[in-house]
């Protein structure tokens, strides 16, 4: 989003109540490595094939991996 430094942008108004971190972004995103590009492509292909996990299950998987 682009912010004029004064008015609350519509993108923020649409968010649910909660705590958020806002960080300034550079004009250009850093270049991805070939490995990062391949990882994104693999993830998108998995998504297209319907191999997805909902957020609740994702949290369970991460919590289990972290021993929580």
Q: Domains in the chain: how many in total?
A: 1
Q: Which of 58, 27, 30 is nearest to 43 (CA)?
A: 58
Res 46: pLDDT: 95
Structural domain includes residue 55: yes
Tokens of 66: 């972290």
State the distance between the two ends of the chain, measured CA to CA, in whole angstroms: 35
Res 33: pLDDT: 96
pLDDT in tens, 8-66: 988 888 889 999 998 888 778 889 999 999 999 999 999 999 999 999 999 999 999 99
CA distance 2 to 5: 9
pTM: 0.45
CA distance 58 to 52: 10
Res 25: pLDDT: 81
**Residues spanned by the domain of 56:** 31-68
Structural domain includes residue 38: yes
Res 43: pLDDT: 94
Structural domain includes residue 49: yes
CA distance 14 to 2: 15
């Amino acid at each position: 989003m682009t912010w004029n430094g004064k008015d609350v942008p519509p993108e923020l108004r649409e968010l649910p109540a909660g705590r958020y971190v806002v960080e300034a972004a550079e004009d250009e995103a850093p270049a991805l490595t070939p490995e990062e590009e391949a990882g994104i492509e693999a993830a998108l292909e998995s998504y297209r094939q319907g191999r997805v996990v909902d957020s609740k299950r994702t949290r369970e998987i991460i919590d289990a991996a972290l021993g929580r």
